[in-house]
Amino acid sequence: MGTYDCIVFDMDGTLAESKGPVTLTMAAVLNRLLALKKVAIISGGRFEQFKSQLIDHLDPAYFAHLTIMPTTGAQMYQYRNDSWEQIYDESLSPEERSRIISALSTMVITAGYQEPETYGEVIEDRGSQITFSGLGTTAPAGVKATWDPDMTKRTRIIELLKPALSDFCITIGGMTSIDITKAGTDKAYGVKKLSETLQIPLQNILFIGDKLEPGGNDFPVKSIGIATIAVADPAETETLITSWLPA
Which residue type, as a one-letter code, is found at position 67? T
Residues 162 and 199 in one domain: no
Q: Tell me which residue range forms the domain holding 129.
A: 94-182
> Per-residue pLDDT averaged across 169-186, rounded?
92
The per-residue pLDDT for range 135-169, each reduced to its tens digit, is 999 999 889 999 999 999 999 999 999 999 999 99
Which of 137, 158, 182 is a domain's end point? 182
pLDDT at residue 216 in the model: 83
Does residue 1 sit within a domain? no
DSSP letter string over 137-158?
Answer: TT--HHHHTTTSTTSHHHHHHH
pLDDT of residue 174: 85
**CA-based angle 20:153:91, to the nearest 5?**
60
Beta pairing class for 66-69 and 75-80: antiparallel
> Do 177 and 132 share a structural domain?
yes
Q: b/e string for 89-120 if b means 16 or more Cβ within 10 A?
A: ebbbeeebbebbbebbeebbeebebeeeeeee
60 lies in a domain? yes
- CATH no. for residue 132? 3.30.1240.20
Q: State the burial class of residue 47 (Cβ atoms within 10 Å of its Cβ: 0-12, 13-18, 19+).
A: middle
pLDDT attached to residue 128:
95
In a shared domain, residues 176 and 215 = no
What percent of the chain is predicted at pLDDT more than 70?
99
Domain end among 159, 182, 205 = 182
Paired with 41 in beta bridges are: 9, 68
pLDDT range class, residue 1, cuts 50, 70, 90: low
Domain membership of residue 141 (yes or no) is yes
Question: What digits encode the pLDDT tens for the residues 14-72?
Answer: 999 988 999 999 999 999 999 999 999 999 999 999 999 999 999 999 999 999 999 99
End-to-end CA distance of the chain: 15
The residue among 164, 182, 200 that closes a domain is 182
Residues 86 and 189 in one domain: yes
Question: Domain for residue 163, yes or no?
Answer: yes
Structural contact between residues 56 and 88, judged by C-beta atoms closer than 8 angstroms = no
**pLDDT averaged over the chain?**
95
Largest Cα span, the chain: 55
Q: Are residues 239 and 216 in the same domain?
A: yes
Residue 177 lies in a domain: yes
The answer to whether the beta carbons of residues 11 and 41 sit under 8 Å apart is yes
Whole-angstrom Cα distance, residue 8 to residue 68?
10
Q: Which long-range contacts (CB under 8 A, 24 or more apart) does 155-159 make?
A: 155/215, 156/111, 156/113, 157/104, 157/107, 157/108, 157/111, 157/113, 157/132
pLDDT reported for residue 93: 96
Q: Are residues 177 and 98 in the same domain?
A: yes
Distance between CA 11 and CA 31 in Å, rounded? 16
Q: Could you tell me if 113 and 147 lie in one domain?
A: yes
Distances (CA, A) of 47 to 36, 55, 174: 24, 10, 16
CATH of the domain at 15: 3.40.50.1000
Question: Do both 62 and 115 map to the same domain?
Answer: no
Count of structural domains within the chain: 2
Check residue 36 and give its pLDDT: 95
Q: Are residues 165 and 105 in the same domain?
A: yes
112 lies in the same domain as 228? no
> For residue 117, which amino acid is it?
E
**Judging by DSSP bridges, how do beta strands 123-125 and 83-89 pair with one another?**
unpaired
- Check whether residue 122 and residue 45 sit in a common domain: no
Question: Does residue 14 lie in a domain region?
Answer: yes
- In this structure, the answer to whether residues 11 and 84 fall within a common structural domain is yes
